[in-house]
Structure 1
Amino acid sequence: MAVSKPTTPSMFKKKSGTSLSAMASAASYLSALSQADARARGALNGSPTSTPALSISSSVTSSSQDTVLHEEEDYSDGLALPARPPTSEQVFKTVHTEFGHCASEEFRLTSQHTPGEPVPGHVDADPPYYILFSTYISYLILIVLGHIRDFLGKRFRSASYAHLMPKGGYAPLNSDFDSFYTRRLKTRMDECFSQPVTGVAGRTILLLDRVSPDYNHTQLFTGSPNPRLEHLGQGGCADAVEESIKRYGVSTLGSRLEGGSSDLHTVSEALVAKFVGMEDALISSMGFATNSTYIPALVGKGCLVISDELNHASIRFGVRISGASVQMFKHNDMESLENLLRESISQGQPKTHRPWKKILLIVEGLYSMEGTLVNLPKVIELKKKYKFYLFVDEAHSVGAMGPQGRGVANYFGIDPRSIDILMGTFTKSFGAAGGYIAGSKTIIDHLRVHGHSGPYAEAMTPPVLTQVVASMASIMGVKAPLPAPSSSGLRLSSPAPLALEYEYVHPGPAPHSSLPSWLSLPRELSDGSEGSTRLRRLAFNSRYLHNGLIKLGFITYGHPASPIVPLLLFNPGKMNMFHTMMKDRQTPIVVVVVAYPATPLVTSRVRFCVSAAHTKDDIDTVLRACDEIGDVLDLKHGIPRSERWPIEQITERAVELARMMK
């Protein structure tokens, strides 16, 4: 099961005569890169408008005057850094691994809902019957063979099953039935899960190749990382994080002053509240724990939680330990939700039929496995009608959706304060860790006292907090303080007048005073221009990939504007094959394959997570690969063959395709 390595020359080989000494700082490089990209938009006619699609066989111009970035790679730490920043004359020949140049304004879209248009719901597209039949048969064969192996193994190879059998009067800690899926199904295709990577995820990532001598029970690294085109992540603000380490250190204990927080925590929470448009916010050191430890502080016995059937496990866990009653409605089905609300309100609590103490509706802004957006306008309409509280989990939508990147409320043009509680994480768009909850000051003060994360969880470390602040500020932009009033006529002994601050108006730029005084961002980040560009690039990439896959004939889920694009595979045997075939191409592509229990058993899928770092040519590369592999694995069961577009037509009409609603 060894992964074959590309035989073509690699553009990542170490170049002689290059030095990292020319790189003064990450900020100087990012600044020069953004300036060059901006100047590229006004370049002369005839110049290419984007970075060539990343290819292992891509050649970099040998002339130093024509080469923008010499990629220099040191496998000892897995970090690839460019030797020098680009210039305007060189920008069009860049083959850049962290953030691809894409100068054409055609490849930009605004992530915004058109008022009056219906919000697409979730549609389960069924494949032909023979696909479903072969999928069920495949699982049946695996289950039968697995039970036979367990039966024989316990009798003839008992040493290998000691952890599943009673011994010395003790019951086994692990149940053979509970672990059956993991041992007999998932292990067989474990090559496509938990891929080990190194370095910084951006437009590309370094994947550590591995082999298994014992059918995936153990994995052995070959010792050779290979560059891959990858669909995850956005960049960070390295210099700001470095400065925070100098000032605060790196440990959690170093961030604790009184009550488990520091001045940096206070600044971060205030900035989060401004970013999402709420009165106050609190932060937690773990995204999963944000839901599972704060939901029990919101509801309890005698309360009703109405939950979407596809809500994340952290929400389900938090509701379960809260003691509240819970009822689920069909995924993103507003008619099902309204019927459930009517019945729940009219019937009241079980047995006693007393009115519920409170009703809390919990939905996700962007569903991580389906790519669907909550129908927020309809939910707000129902909220006004039935008077329930609304909790929106924006783990995947905040920082990615909306004209200003503020999430689903920003996408639909809805006042965020019409939502009672906004929850989100920092692990996606912000490139950090942890999560937050934002709402009114009354709610947040209550959660600080009664939420379990406050007194029991560790504090977020200063470097992580700085990454959160810097990345949020780069999306928002920073408004400089008003000039200080004139001191003419004052005595020399009078103190210098302080600069005045603008009043923050959501969703505007962050006031200068809301950031740490020592934090310095490059101009392109502080004025918000790069953040705005990335949001518009992400919107184009998302729609282009989503609609392109549909036109090729694949079955996909989700909203067209979603940066999460699931492609349905169904059969378990196709999961590993799709992953391997994508990885073994001339331009290797890393994909995330998702299966049960994250999805229903028969709807396994590839989950593309689009990044703003990718160019239109990168999306072309992915579409071409999917087109070829889809024919081989028989995956095209979506629209009729007569309505499909050939790949050449899709790449040529990309702008038109991206502007289609579906």
Structure 2
Amino acid sequence: MPPMPPEERLSEAFDETEGVFANDEPIELKPSVEKDPLPEVDYDESFENPPFLSIMSAYLCLFLLVIFGHIRDLLRKWGFDKTMDASEFGNEGFVPLFNDFEAFYTRNVWQRVLHYWCHPLAGVPGAQIEVWDRKFGSFNENIRLQETKRHYLNIGSYNYLGFAENKGRCADETVQEIRHRLGTATASSRSELGTLRVHEQLESLVAEFVGKEAALVFGMGFGTNSQNIATLVDEGCLLISDELNHASLILGARLSGAKIKVFRHNNMLQLEKILKTSIVMGQPRTRRPWKKILIVVEGIYSMEGTSCNLPEIVKLKNKYKAFLYVDEAHSIGAMGNTGRGICEHYGVKPSDIDILMGTFSKSFGASGGYIAGDRDLVAYLKKESHAQNYSSAMSPPVARQVLASTQAIMGIDGTNEGQRRIRQLKINTRFFRTELQKRGYILFGELDSPVVPLLICSIAKLCAFAKTSLNNGLAPVVVGFPATPMLGARARFCLSASHTTEQLRWMIDLIEKFEPELGLKLSRRDRSL
């Protein structure tokens, strides 16, 4: 494995007075969105389609994988091949717990990709990580782990601001919480004996940070969506969802019992059409008015790197008297000049958003989530939310970690460390995106999004990219169908403030090194400008 890039920090190489990298070409920092609004384009026009030859080769690859998959299934049935999937045995006479045929794609196609990037971590998920080499065996046997570690450049975790570290003020506060204050857990729900002073302090600080009257924190980010949406809407309500919303939002919508309608990603024309039709027609069969209409979107979409068109959504929400739920899992802390998320990024007042949701597992380097809104909303959730009444409360050291990182972002800790990290992340993101786009790669998302998906298109190229990256000391995340469209296989880079300019250049050079073999430059646009 080649030596890892040096630990020179990007902030040290950045000239504060000139706005350029030392000994390098200037990097233009464009004005914020409120001064330079995004053009109103349809979703399909905001993405560059791959060339026809790449599309045909991707379909051919999938066709061959399906053919060989059926052949291997026959060999497994006849006992000539051994399955790597979970399978039932010893249950003769009982109804099967799951339908094995439904796992055909995962068993024969997607499992090949999982083999290259499902590895257990052995160190802190910072700019560089230590990973155990994993040797796959049958899932009905023990998975064998070789006692060897490898070092990789970490470009796959959500540690946007670099707070997921084992040193510094946040880590020290967390250790003190365990040793001298409240230990590791409350072993109770918030509505019983699980509400601690640190929870109340965190909720007050989060509400101040996002600009709402009150907030409520939960121990799990996924559960914040899946267990609270059903508290907000129920039968007789209409929930309008972006087609690319996260699985937690989809699960919460299905559990609610509300009528669900889906609009194409960021397509404001279709969203308005759904609002108009739904208000005019009312509920199915009875034609009674909807009890409430809730629009659900995300700040940054984790598979696309795009942001919701928040200003236009707010206009439609106000025009048709609907409610708006914004999931800021990937945008809070990472977007906006002071890290206050998608509202600050677009210059939208937080008071225009009815429900602001976010997680602490990304920019804050911890776990859990929050919902912020007016006091009546939070009081209602405290009484009715399943996550509040039945789930275990957030662990005290986790709450202390979030409290310390939030104070750093807001500057309450007396330093400018939080703002330095936010600025560093923006510089890293714009530099990395600009350099890859100039070289002819198709990237999704907007300029300031720390999620940078690189379109690969073919599942075969996806496997080759994952294997080649790991063999050369790079640890990205690769994603394909069904998490993406059939032709949307991609490598997803998650940038962090802890990455240095040398690390980013090393990674770009590495991608360029094995690009001729893989053929990843699919863009046909003129990048000379």
TM-score normalised by length of structure 1: 0.72
Counterpart amino acid of residue 265 in structure 2: H
Please state how far the C-alpha of 1:148 moved relative to its aligned partner.
2.5
**Whose radius of gyration is greater, 1 or 2?**
1
Structure 2 match to 1:553: 440
CA contact (8 A) 1:212 1:218 kept: no
Structure 1 match to 2:171: 238
Distance 1:558 1:183 in 2: 31
Structure 2 match to 1:442: 376
Identify the match of residue 426 of structure 1 among 339, 356, 360.
Answer: 360
Identify the match of residue 345 of structure 1 among 269, 276, 279.
Answer: 279
Please state how far the C-alpha of 1:343 moved relative to its aligned partner.
1.3
1:458-507 Cα shifts (integer Å, max 9, x gaps): 011111000000000000011xxxxxxxxxxxxxxxxxxxxxxxxxxxxx
Please state how far the C-alpha of 1:360 moved relative to its aligned partner.
0.3
Structure 2 match to 1:376: 310
The aligned runs of 1:464-613 (5 Å cut-off) are 464-478=398-412, 526-585=413-472, 588-613=473-498
Give aligned-pair identity as a percent. 42
Please state how far the C-alpha of 1:313 moved relative to its aligned partner.
0.6
CA contact (8 A) 1:165 1:172 kept: no
1:588-628 Cα shifts (integer Å, max 9, x gaps): 22111112222123211101101011122222222222222
1:289-334 Cα shifts (integer Å, max 9, x gaps): 1001100010011100010000001101101010100101110111
Please state whether the residue corresponding to 2:96 is helix, strand or coil. Answer: coil
Work out whether 1:318 is the aligned partner of 2:252. Answer: yes
Q: Give aligned pairs, total.
A: 506
CA contact (8 A) 2:189 2:390 kept: no
Distance 1:620 1:116 in 2: 28
Larger CA deviation: 276-285 vs 242-251: 242-251
Gaps of 5+ in 1: 1-5, 11-53, 59-93, 479-525, 646-656, 658-662
Identify the match of residue 210 of structure 1 among 134, 139, 142.
Answer: 134
Distance 2:132 2:81 in 1: 34
Work out whether 1:115 is the aligned partner of 2:32. Answer: no
Please state how far the C-alpha of 1:527 moved relative to its aligned partner.
2.5
Identify the match of residue 74 of structure 2 among 119, 133, 151.
Answer: 151
1:129-185 Cα shifts (integer Å, max 9, x gaps): 221112112112222222232234223369969936895222322212221122111
Counterpart amino acid of residue 126 in structure 1: N
Please state how far the C-alpha of 1:200 moved relative to its aligned partner.
1.0
Distance 2:435 2:364 in 1: 27
Distance 1:272 1:214 in 2: 45
Distance 1:330 1:181 in 2: 26
Larger CA deviation: 527-536 vs 315-324: 527-536
CA contact (8 A) 2:189 2:391 kept: no
Distance 2:228 2:188 in 1: 25
Structure 1 match to 2:344: 410
Distance 2:421 2:117 in 1: 29
Distance 1:443 1:162 in 2: 44
**C-alpha root-mean-square deviation of aligned residues, in Å?**
2.6
Distance 1:530 1:319 in 2: 38
Structure 2 match to 1:453: 387
Work out whether 1:263 is the aligned partner of 2:263. Answer: no
Please state how far the C-alpha of 1:337 moved relative to its aligned partner.
1.1
Structure 1 match to 2:24: none
Please state how far the C-alpha of 1:417 moved relative to its aligned partner.
1.3
The aligned runs of 1:125-274 (5 Å cut-off) are 125-156=48-79, 163=87, 168-212=92-136, 220-231=144-155, 232=157, 233=159, 234-236=162-164, 237-245=170-178, 246-253=180-187, 258-274=192-208
Counterpart amino acid of residue 199 in structure 1: G
TM-score normalised by length of structure 2: 0.89
Counterpart amino acid of residue 422 in structure 1: L
Distance 2:177 2:163 in 1: 17
Comparing both chains, which one has the higher relative contact order based on Cα–Cα distances under 8 Å and sequence gaps of 6 or more?
Answer: 2
Gaps of 5+ in 2: 22-26, 165-169
Distance 2:444 2:40 in 1: 11
Please state how far the C-alpha of 1:555 moved relative to its aligned partner.
1.2
Identify the match of residue 230 of structure 2 among 250, 273, 296.
Answer: 296
Counterpart amino acid of residue 343 in structure 1: T
Distance 1:212 1:219 in 2: 6
Counterpart amino acid of residue 559 in structure 1: E
CA contact (8 A) 2:440 2:521 kept: yes
Counterpart amino acid of residue 201 in structure 1: P
Distance 1:351 1:360 in 2: 20
Task: Rate the CA distance shift 1:386–1:200 in 2: closer, same or farther, 3 A.
Answer: same
Task: Rate the CA distance shift 1:223–1:375 in 2: closer, same or farther, 3 A.
Answer: same
Distance 1:215 1:136 in 2: 30
Distance 1:334 1:111 in 2: 24
Counterpart amino acid of residue 567 in structure 1: L
Please state how far the C-alpha of 1:632 moved relative to its aligned partner.
1.8
Task: Rate the CA distance shift 1:289–1:256 in 2: closer, same or farther, 3 A.
Answer: closer
Structure 1 match to 2:505: 620
Counterpart amino acid of residue 246 in structure 2: H
CA contact (8 A) 2:11 2:424 kept: no
Structure 2 match to 1:520: none
Work out whether 1:635 is the aligned partner of 2:520. Answer: yes
Counterpart amino acid of residue 460 in structure 2: G
Distance 1:162 1:264 in 2: 42
